[in-house]
Amino acid sequence: MYRKYLNMFSIAVAIIATVVIIHNGCQQSKDLVSGDVAEKVYVKPGTYDDFYLFTSGGFSGQVGVYGLPSGRLFRVIPVFSQDPEKAWGYSEESKPMFMTSYGFVPWDDAHHPKLSQTDGIADGRWLFINGNNTPRIARVDLATFRTAEIIEIPNSGGNHGSPFLTENTEYVVASTRFSVPIPNKDVPLNSYKENFKGTISFIKVAKEGAMNVEFQILVPGFNYDLAHGGKGPSHGWAFFTSYNTEQANTLLEVNASQNDKDFIAAVNWKKAEEYVKQGKYKTFSANYFRNYFDEKKHMAFSEKKSDVKILIPSECPGLIYYLPTPKSPHGVDVDPTGEYIAAGGKLAAIIPVHSFSKMMKAIENKEFDGDVDGIPILKYESVMAGEVINPGLGPLHTEFDDAGYGYTSSFISSEIVKWKIGTWEVVDRIPTYYSIGHLCIPGGDTKKPWGKYVIALNKITKDRYLPTGPELTQSAQLFDISGEKMKLLLDFPTIGEPHYAQAIPSDIVMKNSRKIFPIEENANPYSIKAEKDARVVRNGNVVHVYMSTIRTHFAPDNIEGIRVGDEVYFHVTNLEQDWDIPHGFAVKGANNSELLIMPGSTETLKWLPAQEGVYPFYCTDFCSALHQEMQGYIRVSPKGSNVELAWHTGK
Amino acid sequence: MNSKSKVILITASLILILTFFFPLWSIDLEAPQYPEGIGLRIWINQITGLKPNDLNNINGLNHYIGMKEIVPDAIPELKIMPYIIIFMIIFGLVSALAGKRFLVYAWIALFIILAAIGLYDFYMWEYDYGHNLNPHAAIKIHGMVYQPPLIGSKMLLNFNAISLPNISFYILFFTVVLAVIALILDRRTNK
């Protein structure tokens, strides 16, 4: 009897011990990092990283610039969100960049950075990124690391599937996440099926970068999710995922998850160009803005647009085909050869891979399975090249290396799964911490992947870093993919929420990096080229201060004769022509921000003095040994005062 | 004078034209904050920076210690030197064509005298810039002067100033060497 209890007791102890050992073992095994890892990510002080990594800031609206393999953050490029540090959206020069048909929009949700390409290879000229909420696309100039242009996308409910590229950056594309009435109007929400439509936009990119919404395609009212341009043989085509083919307008988590297959829209954009040339488009009136930053004038301009060309698929045969794709596909990724199109069926148990050549054959043989609004649906079996079985739960996105493998992020099972193109077999998998969204391989969505690393972009970090209250950092994780097995090298925190990211060898970008703006080329109407031109000009209650900075003083640094109720514009030109010598400008009580003026450029701060008194201003960027002496005073007199307008430096 | 020597002398004269295309002297400044380098290039007719804007940036740095601004247009030597070079080219050609040894001796002697004057003048110019400091300068260190060395290097506060002859100086030197060779060859054939 006792013996029996003793046995049971022993068994229980054994079970508990096993559980404890396994549990502790699991805790430890989550960091399977071996000894030589530190060496692989250590970038010696004073030496450069091998790659630039550009991560989207997600809800921060900006772009993070990191080095790989170190994971060091170099810069946050302000794009869609105001940034008082850089006066982005606060200086008079940059305000027009935020103009939309809804007025000044100071924030957006930036998801997908995309490096410009030449012949299908990242060329390091520009970085495009989408604004998801108020549909926009930005172009960042990688010589200045400044946002050079922001274009609003008309007839879009949300710009998620964007900004993906064609092989030579002929176009950036955009597809609407939300279908909406087009043109937008006041309709009952339950009239979705009748009134709601989607659009796919092709934005032409001129040689020097200027964007223009060349044409849009009116498509059935689904949710359009992500996209990728074809390359090589599939150049001339672009692929867009869609979900909610159920056309639900409420409780989408259930109602949009019913169909076994949704669609990838394959768009023949060369054909679309022909139709546009033949005049087979309808001109819709539309209200949208293109904002661009003039490099020579150091200021932004807004251009209002009033119409857009729209193609209707039923009137343009051969323009779009639907590839049936299992279960609400998210990413659509084209392999380096341009033949295979992998979809991330986020609720599917497989990764379907379509074949471009089979698709072309199926189109030729009209292997259709009905149509939606005149868009033929190709037979799944006719276009499918293979299925990756057991790819993890919730496959989202695939990037490719230079050795014929695909790497898919699986959100729910929180892992990266490596599979072989052609045999579709899973060859390796590695956990991520935690809940990976996108992933990035340098050049991994181009014709020429540089390989070497895969970067996981994670949504959740929980216990990975020191806690910082309820909101924790999101993260990137760096894995070595040069061997057969993926190896975790490094975790590093990211700004905002990193969705997609792009990486490129450093030398391609750094050789173009600007050091200064030549002062003689500064065409800002309020710039001055020499200290002797510094002056203050009153025009009614508007006062223009033409100010210069050079180590280590402002000219003028004493200003009198400003009155309460004046509208004062400080136009500050940094006369420095030396690398890494910006000057700052901040004035007490300013309701906007500081200025941070790069060598050779001009920026303007608007100031509304509301109370009389003396106001100091000073340089905010530690510029030299006498930085702390770089300051000045403004005397503000009461309204109607007869204190004469006067200014000087050094008297 | 034999024809070989004449050809050498003509060559020696004509290579002086190259001094219009290369700097005569260089002053480089080394400091931790300037990993990309910063410096001056002194030509027979101008002063430039090692990189665009270097001259302005050096003037900007110098104002802290009260050094005068270097304004190339205000330096008379840079206006005179090109004429001296042209004169020496013509002098050399004339002495070669005339074939008179005493003219060549005179040419060489003049060269050496001019070079000595030039170096003395350069030293005095450096002395003036290094010593005549604005009494209101922000950084004043008792007893400190900022004269760069004529040749060699010297620490001036955080900067190591390195002053060295540049290509055009070596061209001048080579011209004199060629002239001497021409004379030696001529003497041998005369024997």
Q: Are A569 and A605 in contact (CB under 8 A)?
A: yes
Kindly report the number of other CB atoms within 10 A of residue A14's CB atom: 10
For the segment A206-220, the average pLDDT, to the nearest whole number, is: 98
Name the token pair of A50.
């091998």
Q: List the Cα angle A544/A550/A551 in 5-degree steps.
A: 140
The average pLDDT across A210-237 equals 97
Amino acid at A485: K
Taking CB atoms and an 8 Å limit, are A577 and B64 in contact across chains? no
Residue A25 has pLDDT above 80, yes or no: no
Q: Give the pLDDT confidence of B118-151 residue by residue, as tens digits.
A: 999 999 999 999 999 999 999 999 989 999 999 9
Beta-strand pair A405-410/A395-400: antiparallel
Chain B residues touching A550 at Cβ < 8 A: 60
Q: Does B53 touch chain A (CB under 8 A)?
A: yes
CB atoms B60 and A626 under 8 Å? no
How buried is residue A458: exposed, middle or buried, by Cβ count under 10 Å (0-12/13-18/19+)? buried
Percent pLDDT > 90 in chain A is 93
Torsion angle of C-alpha atoms A20, A23, A26, A28, degrees rounded to 10:
-60
Query: Which residues are within 8 A (CB) of B39 and not within 5 positions of it... i.e. 6 or more apart?
Result: B26, B27, B28, B29, B49, B50, B54
Q: How far is A351 from A343, CA to CA, in rounded Å?
A: 6
What separation in angstroms does the CA of A92 have from each of A54, A100, A301?
Answer: 28, 16, 11
Angle separating helix axes B3-14 and B167-190, nearest 10 degrees: 170
Q: Are A177 and A224 in contact (CB under 8 A)?
A: yes
Give residue-wise pLDDT tens across range A289-331: 999 999 999 999 999 999 999 999 999 999 999 999 999 999 9
ipTM above 0.90, yes or no: no
Is A220 strand, coil or helix? coil
Q: What is the DSSP string of A90-136?
A: TSTTTGGGGEETTEE-----B---EEEEETTEEEEEEEEEEETTTTE
DSSP, res A627? G
- Residue A1 reports pLDDT greater than 60: no
> Does pLDDT of A570 surpass 50?
yes
CA proximity to A121, closest of A164, A68, A52, A167:
A167
Closest C-alpha among A86, A129, A90, A133 to residue A108: A133
pLDDT of residue A2: 58
* Rounded Cα distance, B111 and B108, in Å: 5
Using a CB-CB cut-off of 8 Å, the residues of chain A touching B52 are: 577
Residue A166 three-state SS: coil
**φ and ψ of A32, to 5 deg:** -85, 70
pLDDT of residue A15: 57
Question: d(Cα B145, Cα A455) in Å, to the nearest integer?
Answer: 56
* Helix (H/G/I), strand (E/B), else coil: B119: helix
Burial class (CB in 10 A: 0-12, 13-18, 19+), A476: buried
φ/ψ region of A642 (left if φ > 0, alpha if ψ in -120 to 50, else beta) reads: alpha
User: Which of B57, B64, B138 is closest, CB to CB, to A578?
Assistant: B57
- The string of DSSP codes covering B127-169 is HHHHH---TT-S---TT---PPPSSEEEEETTEEEEEEE-HHH
CB atoms within 10 A of CB A483: 8
Distance CA(A235)–CA(A117), nearest Å, equals: 13
Cβ neighbour number for residue A519 with a 10 Å cutoff: 22
Nearest in space to A317 (alpha carbons), one of A356, A256, A374, A274: A374
CB contact under 8 A, A577 and B138: no
Are A625 and B139 in contact (CB < 8 Å)? Answer: yes
What's the rounded mean pLDDT across residues A519-538? Answer: 98
Q: Which residues of B touch A510 (CB under 8 A)?
A: none
Nearest Cβ partner of A550 from B60, B64, B139? B60
Q: Model confidence over A487-515: pLDDT tens digits?
A: 999 999 999 999 999 999 999 999 999 99
Q: Which of A581, A564, A561 is nearest to A626 (CA)?
A: A581
Distance CA A221, CA A198 (A): 5
**Is there a contact between A180 and A162 (Cβ–Cβ < 8 Å)?**
no
A346 pLDDT higher than 90: no
Round to whole Å and give the CA distance between A64 and A66: 6
What separation in angstroms does the CA of B66 have from each of A255, A551, A577, B57, B59? 78, 14, 20, 14, 10
Q: Enumerate the β-bridge partners of residue A503.
A: A53
Q: In angstroms, rounded to a whole number, what is the distance separating the alpha carbons of residues A572 and A528?
A: 8
Question: Does the pLDDT of residue A389 top 50, yes or no?
Answer: yes
Q: How far apart are CA A225 and CA A239, in angstroms?
A: 11
The neighbouring-strand residues paired with A478 are: A455, A490
CA A221 from centre of chain: 25
- Three-class SS of residue A387? strand
Give the residue range(s) of CATH 2.130.10.10 domains in chain A.
51-506
Residue of B53, B134, B140 best to disrupt the A interface, most CBs of A under 10 A: B53
Contacts of B53 in chain A (CB under 8 A): 516, 577-578
pLDDT of residue A28: 40
% pLDDT > 70, chain A: 95
Decide if A369 contacts A382 (C-beta within 8 A): no
- A605 close to A90: Cβ distance less than 8 angstroms: yes
> Distance (Å, rounded) from C-alpha A316 to C-alpha A314?
6
* A130: nearest Cα among A122, A120, A140, A138: A138
For A258, residues 6+ apart whose C-beta sits below 8 A from its C-beta are A246
Q: Which CATH architecture has domain A51-506?
A: 7 Propeller (2.130)
Minimum-distance CB partner of B53 among A551, A577, A625: A577
Looking at residue A102, its pLDDT comes to: 98
Give the model confidence (pLDDT) of A35-76 as tens digits: 789 999 999 999 999 999 999 999 999 999 999 999 999 999
Contact assessment for residue A72 and residue A81, using Cβ atoms and an 8 Å cutoff: no
Prior bond of A250 cis (ω within 30°): no
CB A398 within 8 A of CB A333: yes
Given a cut of 60, is residue B157 above it in pLDDT? yes
Q: What is the pLDDT of residues A73-129, one digit of tens each?
A: 999 999 999 999 999 999 999 999 999 999 999 999 999 999 999 999 999 999 999
pLDDT of residue B1: 84
Torsional class of A430: left (φ above 0), alpha (ψ -120 to 50), beta (otherwise):
beta
Contact, A163 vs A140, CB < 8 A? no
Question: How far apart, in whole angstroms, are the C-alpha atoms of residue A423 and residue A260?
Answer: 24
Residue of A nearest to B61 (CA): A551
Average pLDDT of span A635-639: 98
Q: What is the mean pLDDT of residues A604-632?
A: 97
Over 90: is that where the pLDDT of A485 sits?
A: yes
Q: Which residues of B touch A516 (CB under 8 A)?
A: 53
User: In which band, very low, low, confident or very high, does the pLDDT at A142 lie, cut at 50, 70 and 90?
Assistant: very high
Does the domain formed by A519-648 have CATH 3.40.50.880?
no
Q: What is the pLDDT of residues A362-375, one digit of tens each?
A: 999 999 999 999 99
> What kind and span of H or E run contains B77?
helix B77-98
What's the half-sphere exposure (Cβ side, CA atoms, 13 Å) at B55?
A: 13
Q: Which residues of B touch A624 (CB under 8 A)?
A: 64
Q: Say how far apart CA A144 and CA A296 lie, in whole Å.
A: 12
Q: In this predicted model, which residue has the larger pLDDT, B190 or A222? A: A222
What's the pLDDT score for residue A9?
59
Between the alpha carbon of residue A362 and those of residues A206, A316, A384, B34, the distances in Å are 34, 19, 10, 64
Q: Where are the domains of chain B?
A: 3-190
Name the B residues in 99-158 with CB < 8 Å from any A CB: 138-139
- State the CB neighbour count (10 A cutoff) for residue A486: 22
Nearest residue of chain A to residue B36 (CA atoms) = A579
Give per-residue pLDDT as tens, A163-176: 999 999 999 999 99
Peptide bond preceding A313: is omega within 30 degrees of 0, i.e. cis?
no
What is the nearest CA distance from A651 to chain B, expressed in angstroms? 14
Per residue in A406-451, pLDDT tens?
Answer: 999 999 999 999 999 999 999 999 999 999 999 999 999 999 999 9
> Cβ of A259: how many Cβ atoms within 10 Å?
15
Interface of A with B in 616-635 (CB under 8 A): 624-626, 629
